[in-house]
Every structure is written in C-alpha cells, then in structure tokens.
Structure 1
Amino acid sequence: MSKKTLPGVTRRQLLTFTAASAGLAAARVAGAVTLQDTPAWSPFDDSPPPTIDTQGWAFFTDDEAATVEAIADRLIPADALSIGGKEAGCAVFIDRQLAGFYGTFARLYMQGPFQPGTPEQGDQSPLVPQQRYRLGLAALDAHCRAQHQKPFRALEAAQQDAVLHDLEGGKITLDGIDATLFFTTVLQNTMEGFFADPIYGGNRDMVSWKMLGFPGARYDYRDYVSKHNQKLDLVPLSIQGSAAWKIKS
C-alpha cells in the first residue's frame, strides 16, 4: 500500500483532520430539529411591509397629479367591471414610485454612453422617470394650451383620447422628451398601479384583483387543494395581510 499523502501533509495530520471533520458532521446531525404539524407563525415578525401614505403628493405638484389622474382615467376608464384609473389610485402609485428608487433609476447603470438603439434593445434614454414625468407633463400641457387653449386635464374626454392617441403614435412633438417614450412610460406605470398590491398606493380595495378573480398574496391553499372545478370566490389578500390575522404587539 502506498504511504503517499498530499504534498506537505503527513499521514498523522490527514487522519487528525478526517476525525475532526467526522466529529463536526455528527454534531450538526445531533443538533437538527424535526418540525411537526404547523410551525408557529405571526405575520411581519421580522420584515414588515412599508406603509404608503395616501395623503398628499410625494413627488408631483397638484397640477401634475391632476394631469396624471386625467391620463389614468382615459387609459383605464370606469366601466361595468371596475372603477377608473384615477379612483383606483394609479396616480398615487406612480407618485410614490417616482419618490423612491424607481424615480431616479438608482439601481440601474445610468452613466452612458447613450445611443439610439433598436426596439429589441429596449429603453436607451438617459432620462430617469422623474425627468420623464416632469418634462413630459409640462410639455403635454404646453401642447394642449397651444392647440386647445386648455391644459390636458381640462379637455373633454374625446379630446384627451385624441391627444393620447397622437402621443402613442409619435404624431406630437414634445419639448425635451420623445412623445412616444413619455406615453409608454405613463401607460406602463398606470397598468402597474392598477394591478399591483394595494400596499403600494394603487389598486384600491383590490379592485383589479376582484375583477380578475385573483386571490392575492395568500400563503396557504391547503383548504382548497381538493376542491376541483368549484368557484371558490376567495376574498383577495394584500401583502399587508388581513384584519383577521393576529398581529404581535
């Protein structure tokens, strides 16, 4: 039998290391815990969700907020299925997002170089969302005042629809920002606000979830696993939880 070991390591050292490793593994096994039944749990023990204050505006001016609310109400008009984008709180959602990390693209690389890209390459603009809204809303109102002698929020619904249609199609030139970029940004954020968890300021009373039949942020479906082909009519739950849950004081 060969007596060779690793270079610079004696057989005694190797045996000592092996024995120590085996002892450590045994200690880890001995310290394992077996859980039975349902583990004790209380919501938000360690990481409570943020609280969104829906009073006032964190980023928008009052006029900017009114314009965004008007846009949201045309992108998601009220109908027999749900309330409109304004009442659903889409502008509140957007406002709070702009006041946070998203507003400055704080978590994205934004040092350039900035070059026009192909549609497949996605957004190549150097403007962060805060700049897009500030420039876009001001330019939109300037356009509407020049064409209709009124700001966007004061136009008739049909006029607002026509302006938004032209924005989407790039038929309007806005000062300081590409019209299509501005439109797609507002459209995307409005949809996010309508369908996001209500904890972020939009989707008030979980209106979109109720419309779709989405159960929300439920953590336990064991009571429903065996109920096949049945309409369950589950009440949606937000990340914030239910008033029926017992919260630790």
Structure 2
Amino acid sequence: MKKRAKTLPGVTRRQVLTWSALGVAASVSQAADAVSLKGSPGWTPFSDNPPETFDQQGWLFFTDEEARTVEALVDRLIPNDELSIGGKEAGCAVFIDRQLKGSYGTFERLYMEGPFQKGTSEQGDQSALVPQQRYRQGLAALNRYVQTTSQKNFADLTPEQQDALLHDMEAGKVHFDGFDAQSLFLEVLNNTMEGFFADPIYGGNKEMVSWKMLGFPGARYDYRDYIERHNEDLHLEPISIAQWKAKG
C-alpha cells in the first residue's frame, strides 16, 4: 500500500504546488535583483583576477638567438599583407616570451605528475615537458636541423625556404634530432594565434591591430545599449584591458 502525502485541512494539492512554484520564482527574482547592475559598476575591472603582465623591457625568457628564430617563425605564420602587419611587428614573439616567463611557461596551474603516456590528437602533447622546456629544446633542434641541411639558422633562410620547412613540419614529413618537429610547429602556431588576437596587455596584438581588422570592439564592460541594434556598423573603437584599468 502506497503512502500518500498529507496536506493541510482545506488545502488542495494544486495549491501546495502553486505556492511552491511561486516561492522558487520569488527566490530567483531576489537573487537576480541582487546581482543586476544599476548604473556604473561598484568595482574596479579585473581587480579580482588581474592579468599576469611584466613591466621589464627586452626578452624575459628567450635568448637573443631564440628570439630571432621565434620572430622569423611568427612572421611566416602571420605574414604582412594588405590586411594587417605581420606576426613579428604585431608583437607575437613578445607575447610568447611573456607567456613562457609566467605561469604558462611552467604549467604552474596544471597537474604535472606521471605517468606520462602518448595521448590522442585531441588531447595534445602528454609529455612531462613544460612549455619552457619545449621551446628551448624545440628551437635548438630546429636550428640544428637547418644547420645540417643548409648551414644556416632558420632565421637566415629565405621566406620560401622557411615556408617549405614549416609545411613539412606541419605534415610530419621532417624529423628533428631529439624533438618532435610537428609538435613544435603546432605549439608555435597556437601561441602565435593567441598573441595576435589576445588583449595587447599581454604583449601582442600591437595597437589592437587584429581587433581593428576584424571590427572586434574589445574588452568593453557591457553591450546593453546595443542589444536591440541589429545589422548595423556601430563604429566602436576597440578598448583594451589596460584602458579599463586606467579608468578604474
């Protein structure tokens, strides 16, 4: 025999369910009202999680020769054309240098204990090497390979020779002594794209060149004034995190 829930005398089950629904709706409404924004924000943007930046000038992680190699790499991955400046001028190498100097360079926030096993292509590199080691060893292996085949460093090759080698690295057609050429290509490619499109506060995207090219308005506080304005060019100049910090 199934037990039935008791209700108060004179109160129907429908009334109980209605009251419960109203109570939940009221709670949600109060919570939403508590976090809704009315007027200017009462906090300094990014104060709870400030971006990791460095005030020092020059290369913070790369040696001069490593930096020269990386600048040549990013300039072939994002070459200068009629749409924008190239990767070197946009600061992509500086972005990578700062990232390697910071927490990304040591995978400070990731679990880095063994065992280390080969993962799937979707999982990416699963080795024990952190980005600082990958770049240091990978760039050295790249230049050793080029010196063996051309008696030059990568930065001294012609743009056509650099492109041909990068294509072979991407396709897994070349093998470096002591380092996976394809994994180096993918890491530099990903970091170059990040540097080109990230906020300028991290060292790349000089003068917000990629944002201006795409029409991206940047790190604006909100877009409530524009929600109902569809299919029109708002002519919004991009705003960086540094500009928000200056306002705060």
Q: TM-score range by the shorter chain?
A: 0.7 to 0.9
Q: Tell me the equivalent position of 1:61.
A: 63
Q: Distance in 1 between matches of 2:183 and 2:46?
A: 42
Give the direction of change, closer, same or farther, for the CA distance of 1:39–1:162 in structure 2 (3 Å limit). Answer: closer
Structure 1 partner of 2:229: 227
Describe the SS at the equivalent of 1:234.
coil
RMSD: 2.5
| Aligned residue in 2 for 1:98 | 100
Q: What secondary structure, in the 3-state scheme, does the structure 2 residue paired with 1:232 have?
A: coil
1:141-152 counterparts in 2 under 5 A?
A: 141-152=143-154
Say whether residues 1:38 and 2:39 are aligned partners.
yes
CA distance in 1 between partners of 2:193 and 2:154 (Å): 20
Aligned-pair distance for 1:224? 2.4
Letter in 1 for 2:180: D
1:85 CA drift (Å):
0.4
Equivalence for 2:158? 156
Aligned length: 216
Shift of 1:241: 2.0
For 1:23-172, list aligned pairs within 5 A. Answer: 37-39=38-40, 41=42, 43-44=44-45, 46-47=47-48, 49-53=51-55, 55-172=57-174
Residue 143 of structure 1 and its aligned partner are, at CA, apart by 0.9
| Residue range with higher mean Cα deviation, 41-50 or 155-164 | 41-50
User: Shift in Å at residue 50 of structure 1?
Assistant: 4.5
| Cα distance, 1:117 vs structure 2 | 2.6
Alignment partner, residue 7 of structure 2? none
Q: Is the 8 A contact 2:53 2:98 kept in 1?
A: no
Shift of 1:167: 1.2
Q: 1:2-24 CA distances to partner (integer Å, 9 max, x unpaired)? A: xxxxxxxxxxxxxxxxxxxxxxx
- Find the aligned partners of 2:141 and 2:34 in 1 and give their Cα distance: 63
Gaps of 5+ in 2: 1-29
**From 171, 179, 182, the counterpart of 2:181:** 179
- 1:199 paired to 2:201: yes
Alignment TM-score, normalising by the size of structure 2:
0.79
CA–CA separation in structure 1 for the residues paired with 2:210 and 2:35:
41
- Cα contact 1:96–1:200 (8 A) shared by 2: yes
Q: Tell which deviates more after alignment, 82-91 or 119-128.
A: 119-128
Q: Which residue of 2 aligns with 1:210?
A: 212
Superimposed CA distance per residue, residues 39-84 of structure 1 (whole angstroms, 9 cap, x where no aligned partner)? 4646459455444337201100011001001000000001111110
Where in structure 1 do 4 or more consecutive aligned residues deviate above 3 Å?
A: 32-37, 39-54
Please name the residue that 2:11 is paired with. none
Give the C-alpha shift of residue 164 in structure 1. 0.8
The answer as to 2:240 corresponding to 1:238 is yes
Q: For 2:193, what is the secondary structure of its paired residue? A: helix
Q: Is the 8 A contact 1:49 1:240 kept in 2?
A: no
Conserved? CA contact 2:90–2:206, under 8 Å: yes
2:188 maps to amino acid: V
AA partner of residue 198 (structure 1): P
Give the direction of change, closer, same or farther, for the CA distance of 1:172–1:111 in structure 2 (3 Å limit). Answer: same
Partner of 1:241, secondary structure, is helix
Q: Which has the larger radius of gyration?
A: 1
Q: Residues 42 and 246 of structure 1 are in contact (CA less than 8 Å); yes or no, is this contact kept in structure 2?
A: no
Counterparts of 1:102 and 1:83, CA distance in 2: 26
Consecutive unaligned residues in structure 1, runs of 5 or more: 1-28
Report the Cα distance in structure 2 between the residues aligned to 1:50 and 1:37, rounded to whole angstroms: 30
